Structure 1
Amino acid sequence: MDPIDAFAAAFTYPVALLRAVTGANVASLTARGIPATYARELTDLAPIYTRGHLAAALEENGHGLATIQIIEKLARRLPTGARHTFRLTLARMVGDVDHIHAAGRALLPATPPPKTGARITRRKNHVWSVTFTGPAATIAQLYDPFKHTRDPATALRDTITRGGVRTVLRPLVVIPLHHTTKVLDGTKDETTFCCSDGVIRTSTHIANMELDETWGFALTHPVAGPVDLVRTQRFANTKQRILATVDNPTCAWDGCTTPADECQIHHLVAWHHGGHTTSSNLATCCAYHNGVNDDNPNAPPRYGHLTRHNGKVTRVYH
């Protein structure tokens, strides 16, 4: 078999691969050149997905290795006794990996919200920790004064002793652009547009036509996503971060609640794969999900990757 065909077959017909792995251990697989991470995963999956009705359903519906990985990731959120039925239910479904992932998430029981309260951890080295659980707005207000300090405990104490914590909100007005508005140039300080009435205008001109120039205005496009940010003062290098925050106030990875202020700016198409630092190619992404994102479009999918679809950032597996 051609090496490329053999490589593709391992992902397209995973049950056959897992049957071949059955009985092997990590050491024997790594000795044959398989990286330890893959070897451990294959030896974990083999005894589960090569048996009876589950294996038959996977083969009958043409599910690939990426789908098995998603099913198992979701199944491990359940108690051990409920996992087999869950796996079998998804294996019997017809659809690509995105469809199976969405169906699996819908089948998972809702996670009950944690109880409000405080927990203190007292250590022998006299360095203690306090964990607060409460309404999102309250915790965000408490966290804001010290999130970028080297000594957060002292910063919080000083803030409280000075009379309390105050949150300052800086609203941005989002101006949706018309579908026919064409971006002409976004490389300079301002983006220029050819508007639907045939007139060429800058971002500031568009904003000043209807809104008070002392505000901040984010311009968005229904397909391209964030385009430009306009305000009375220039934002320099922070402009694209603010636009990414307007587009995704939290990490764009589905289910992640890391706020944009603590996220990295992620290139949807990686720089080393030809992506550019334009707002439509940027999204907020926490450090963990930025690290596991499948940047290489030619590599087999593992965790999925962020992309922009119909103006919104979403995670896909192909």
Structure 2
Amino acid sequence: MNALEMFGALLKSPLELMKLARGLSAQELERVVPEKAAASLAALTKVYAEPVVFSRKQADCVKGIEENEHSLDTLEVIESLAQRVAGHSKKWQLRQGLCREKGTPSEIKELGLKLVKALRKPRTVPVGVSVRRYTDQTWSMRVNGPAALIAELYDPIKDADDPASALHQAVTGGEAVRTVLRPVVTIPLDAADKVIDGTGDETVLLCSDGVERTSTEVAKLALDEEWGFALIHPVEGPVDLVRSKRFANDKQRILAKVENPTCPWDNCHKPADECEVHHIIPWQLGGHTSSRNLTTCCAYHNGVNDDDPNAPPSRGRLERINGRIRRVYRAP
């Protein structure tokens, strides 16, 4: 093999060249190759032949280069396209996609331009709001929306000592906002004599929106006409007629929320307003649609509940024990 053939072979096998160039700077490579070629080889070596954070993606690219017999020219095309994409992850995504494809440098470039266009599309963030609830009755709220609108909401609260109050002030314009209480408020029978007009001993009341309010706080709030207070027997729970239908009626749903203002599964704080109505003894196993056999339960725990008490236990199941709904797990 003469020098020209050796030169051509190396251009067609860039991985061999990069193995030789590993650890050498562009200046060091200039001693044996022209300046422009040295800079290009040093850059490619750093990407494909030296340790990187995205090692799996790098290994996938190397495999694609070998299988598709990509030349040095092709890798230079791929790298020039990668520089048009922001972010290391997207750069490696582009490299992976192109290294896996067969084709000449011009064909790879044509394909790469389409991929660059797709990767440069702005990330779309779903518009909406989510709330994270903590056990100490401290909540956090995340709101997604157009940047300009969020910036307007953020500006008056970013330096505030109490951001929640500052946001409330900004949204309401400083005017008092009368809250209409729609969730069901649970009053245990043994505490009913304390809940009069917001005076006397304080009683902490659970509401089906997941918020704990004192009797004084509830007394100061306006109640929606369709909702109000409900009493729960501390042992028997809510009492209602047995229904012949599987689905609970509105009254039974309300009573279920009253009894369990949050999902009764261990350490689950999903408000009853966002829960499903769960049959403690499953309908398909003969359980009635009665208030005593119903409880609130979030969609996730409703799905993992061991409905059949005679089946091998997996995650445990909700049962009524001494009038209260609890998760019970029995070892096999």
Please say whether Structure 1 and Structure 2 have the same fold, judged by a TM-score greater than 0.5.
no
TM-score (structure 1 length as normaliser): 0.37
TM-score (structure 2 length as normaliser): 0.35
Q: Which has the larger radius of gyration?
A: 2
